[in-house]
Structure 1
Amino acid sequence: MKAATSYSSLLMEDVKQNVEIVDSNKQNSQVNSNNQNEPKKESKLLYGINDAPPWYLSIPLAFQHYLTMIGAIVSIPFILTPALCMADEDPNRGVIISTMIFVTGIVTYFQATWGCRLPIVQGGTISFLVPTLAILNLPQWKCPPEEEISKMNDDEKLELWQIRMRELSGAIAVSSLFQVFIGYTGLVGKILKFVTPLTIVPTVSLVGLTLFEHAAETASKHWGIAAGTTAMLTLFSQVLVNVSVPTITYRKNQGLVVTRFQLFKLFPVLLTIAIMWSLCGILTLTNVFEEGHPSRTDIRLRVLTDASWFYIPYPGQFGLPTVTLAGVLGMLAGVLACTVESISYYPTVSQMSEAGSPPLHAINRGIATEGLGTMLAGLWGSGNGTNTFGENVGAIGVTKVGSRRVIQWAAFIMILQGVIGKFGAIFIMIPDSVVGGIFCVMFGMIIAFGLSTLQYVDLRSSRNLYILGLSIFFPMVLCKWMQNHPGVIKTGNDTVDATLSVLLGTTILVGGFLGCFLDNIIPGTDEERGLVEWSKEMDLGDGDVVEKPSSDYDFPMGMDLLKKWDWTYHVPFLPTYRLKKES
């Protein structure tokens, strides 16, 4: 009891002190960094990118990010494994889930610590499912009839899906070399001047617009629970965000005292999930939700019982990856889409976490790290790649916590869950309707963040409105038609057919390309296109020297040594790139 009250006291005191310190620092930093001599709004962030909440506060904050991404990541294997011809009762489904989350933790930690250094989560993405399903829909990889599978022995059933996993693993690992190459060579920085606001708006917005069917599917398991989850998250994160909850704590030499704790500002997602999950538990125990109802808390109990206690995923656990041209070219479409999407997220996350504008070296390093993460995901056998998690970008906006330390703790939780199978299985049991309610908020915020980039462009320009409307609407029409008419492209070459089907069936790729192409060929002034204002947020690589670099993207150690070596100022992925050497 003494330990508990001591913990509570530490928590309340630290929150109060940190909120005051952070708010004060943010106000001072905004005044000092105001190059335009215009007043900026007071910071609403509780913790910025460089702030380090104590461990007993960081863990629950990190748990929110874990819970935000776990539903989306788990949904990928449930779509993937049937296409691999894997049986529903196959325990290896849990191994794939653990592998994906384990790799997510490793890549997320490396990205936040040594990569782009932004508080982002790198994990499995829906973008890779489109090329994956296109590859598995090729004649040689289609699943045999059910009656034929039923006649197979266990070893044959195992080989049936593992040979397909090896094909995906090789395609993902090899195609990811594209990101590694353009990142470490600095080619990403070269193309940034063509990735304009009218490229980013359709790319980011279409992520949320494309995912609406996934959100609707999960929310429709019980619209009452989903709507209640959305309403409760809105109440906690927006209406009650500045309300402090009186709490009784114990202080040495003072005894019991009343302190105020910003519960709703710190833990809106965690609090919402806990309450709605508990409500579903009550409705399950009282049999209001009948047996088999999708919102029952015991609907996935078998996932928990079948999960192993301890298992360490390793590269090639399903066999040596195989490589084919059709697979690599098809998967390259997912890599391209993820590259544009991540580039779009970097300035958004930097603004949300109140960091400096992302410099070229951070963008180059971030994309290269994402490529390495995708390669690891392929070699480990997750059946998917890695990309910036839009759901967790939305979580930063909801929780007002943009600390990279919190993301590092979240990465540790993911790695732990990947090793202890039953730990993650508990949270896989969160009812879909609760997850759907969270998605309605998160995906909506992704759309809003994408549209917020329009602040840089002239919306009175008919040119800009034409590009904006066409680049958002046309991909939704084309890609939906492609999904409803598989196999419609027949050039006589299966590889070309699969590649074109994947390219034309990915909304974010079509929308981003269309916005970029039209914005760069249709005449317009830099002011009209938003390039003047955008250059203040994103380093476009036009100059040779950055006069006021942001230290937010420096390595956590070794910077003094890097600054002593002349050659480091010419390496496009090092923090010293394009700086003047100090004399």
Structure 2
Amino acid sequence: MAGDGVENAKPPQKQEDLQPHPVKDQLYGITYCLTSPPPWPETILLGFQHYLVMLGTTVLIPTMLVSKIDARNEDKVKLIQTLLFVSGINTLFQSFFGTRLPAVIGASYSYVPTTMSIVLAARYNDIMDPQKRFEQIMRGIQGALIIASFLHILVGFSGLWRNVTRFLSPLSAVPLVAFSGFGLYEQGFPMLAKCIEIGLPEIILLVIFSQYIPHLMQGETCSNFFHRFAVIFSVVIVWLYAYILTIGGAYSNTEFNTQISCRTDRAGIISASPWQ
């Protein structure tokens, strides 16, 4: 009997044959993880949506800097293009060599206060040529960021941050992230108020698509579809709404600042691009 039991025993499973448990068996509410990525069509749409989300900060920060420098639209375009390019490079490095989280490494608002101190430095007041002044300020900002990045590299490669995170909990991390984001309200909501008929519908539609419609839809597929692509739906609808108002002449006789904030053809970014 003992011999039969040994003969009928299954061979031990090889390490490479081991498969992870389905994602839903790991964490409730998690559909995809590192070992089970979404299909390519959904991945492309989610990536484009993430691009739309980060585009606000990518455009907002150069707009704030350029307004303090009194630079041209061409200079703002250069800043936006530089941020997009560097964000793409950093995201690729993070995806292949970093944490591999589905996140875009974009511009950080945390550096804006110190960057503003460089922009408003007195040593640039003697430069009369706006283009040369812009270039000198950008060189100063780049040099400061390079020096500051060495501190990040030192903390990361030395393992110091790993020891610090042991003492951090979600209760302490959430206020830190929240306070960093709350700083954008000072810039974002006054800009939204400049064109309330465009900004307010965007916020309302985003809340409806992300928080209400998924609970009203029957079936998990439809619910997840509206929940995951709420930003794309709201941005497309509101942009078409703004475009209709623009071509319909709703802002033809309004003030110049209102046209800059509300019209879809007054940003000056596309027309100032080198490839235009």
> Normalising by structure 2, what TM-score?
0.80
Residue of structure 2 equivalent to 1:289: 251
Spell out the pairing of 1:277-356 with structure 2 (5 A cutoff).
277-291=239-253, 292=256, 293=259, 294-300=261-267, 302-309=268-275
Deviation of 1:197 (Å): 4.8
Between the aligned partners of 1:279 and 1:25, the Cα distance in structure 2 is: 42
Aligned residues: 249
For the Cα contact (< 8 Å) 2:62–2:80, is it kept in 1?
Answer: yes
- 1:165 and 2:138 equivalent? yes
Deviation of 1:66 (Å): 0.4
- 1:225 and 2:192 equivalent? no
Deviation of 1:119 (Å): 1.7
1:60 alignment partner, one of 10, 35, 45: 45
| Residue deviations 1:251-272 (CA, integer Å, cap 9, x gap) | xxxxxxxx97954133111011
Letter in 1 for 2:32: Y
Deviation of 1:86 (Å): 5.0
Letter in 2 for 1:303: I
1:140 alignment partner, one of 123, 130, 133: 123
Between the aligned partners of 2:222 and 2:105, the Cα distance in structure 1 is: 35
Q: Secondary structure at the match of 1:112?
A: helix
Between the aligned partners of 1:307 and 1:244, the Cα distance in structure 2 is: 45
Residue of structure 2 equivalent to 1:503: none
Between the aligned partners of 1:101 and 1:95, the Cα distance in structure 2 is: 10
- 1:216 and 2:213 equivalent? no
For the Cα contact (< 8 Å) 1:244–1:262, is it kept in 2?
Answer: no
Between the aligned partners of 2:224 and 2:105, the Cα distance in structure 1 is: 29
Q: Gaps spanning 5+ residues in structure 2: where?
A: 1-20
Residue of structure 1 equivalent to 2:112: 129
For the Cα contact (< 8 Å) 2:242–2:262, is it kept in 1?
Answer: yes
Between the aligned partners of 2:72 and 2:218, the Cα distance in structure 1 is: 47
Between the aligned partners of 2:75 and 2:189, the Cα distance in structure 1 is: 28
Q: Gaps spanning 5+ residues in structure 1: where?
A: 1-23, 31-41, 150-155, 246-258, 310-421, 423-583
Q: Percent identity?
A: 29
CA 1:213–1:178: 2 relative to 1, 3 Å:
same
Between the aligned partners of 1:66 and 1:111, the Cα distance in structure 2 is: 16
- 1:69 and 2:65 equivalent? no
1:190 alignment partner, one of 163, 172, 187: 163
Between the aligned partners of 2:142 and 2:270, the Cα distance in structure 1 is: 27
The structure, 1 or 2, with the larger RCO (C-alpha pairs under 8 Å, 6+ apart) is 1
Deviation of 1:114 (Å): 1.4
CA 1:306–1:197: 2 relative to 1, 3 Å:
closer
Residue of structure 2 equivalent to 1:273: 235
For the Cα contact (< 8 Å) 1:244–1:263, is it kept in 2?
Answer: no
CA 1:307–1:137: 2 relative to 1, 3 Å:
closer
Deviation of 1:60 (Å): 1.6
CA 1:221–1:97: 2 relative to 1, 3 Å:
same
Residue of structure 1 equivalent to 2:177: 204
More helix as a share of residues: 2
Q: Secondary structure at the match of 1:176?
A: helix
Residue of structure 1 equivalent to 2:76: 93
Q: Secondary structure at the match of 1:305?
A: coil
Letter in 1 for 2:247: L
Residue of structure 1 equivalent to 2:11: none
CA 1:50–1:269: 2 relative to 1, 3 Å:
farther
For the Cα contact (< 8 Å) 2:109–2:180, is it kept in 1?
Answer: no
Between the aligned partners of 1:230 and 1:82, the Cα distance in structure 2 is: 26
Q: Secondary structure at the match of 2:262?
A: coil
- 1:103 and 2:86 equivalent? yes
Q: Secondary structure at the match of 2:214?
A: coil
Letter in 1 for 2:46: L
CA 1:102–1:279: 2 relative to 1, 3 Å:
same
CA 1:280–1:46: 2 relative to 1, 3 Å:
farther
Between the aligned partners of 2:179 and 2:122, the Cα distance in structure 1 is: 30
Between the aligned partners of 2:80 and 2:37, the Cα distance in structure 1 is: 30
Q: Secondary structure at the match of 2:59?
A: helix
Between the aligned partners of 2:169 and 2:52, the Cα distance in structure 1 is: 33
Letter in 2 for 1:87: A
Between the aligned partners of 1:133 and 1:187, the Cα distance in structure 2 is: 29
Between the aligned partners of 2:163 and 2:262, the Cα distance in structure 1 is: 49
CA 1:126–1:81: 2 relative to 1, 3 Å:
same
CA 1:196–1:101: 2 relative to 1, 3 Å:
same
> Normalising by structure 1, what TM-score?
0.40
Deviation of 1:92 (Å): 3.2
Between the aligned partners of 2:119 and 2:111, the Cα distance in structure 1 is: 12
Letter in 2 for 1:96: L
CA 1:172–1:88: 2 relative to 1, 3 Å:
same
Letter in 2 for 1:202: P
| Residue deviations 1:150-192 (CA, integer Å, cap 9, x gap) | xxxxxx4432221222122111101210110111111112222
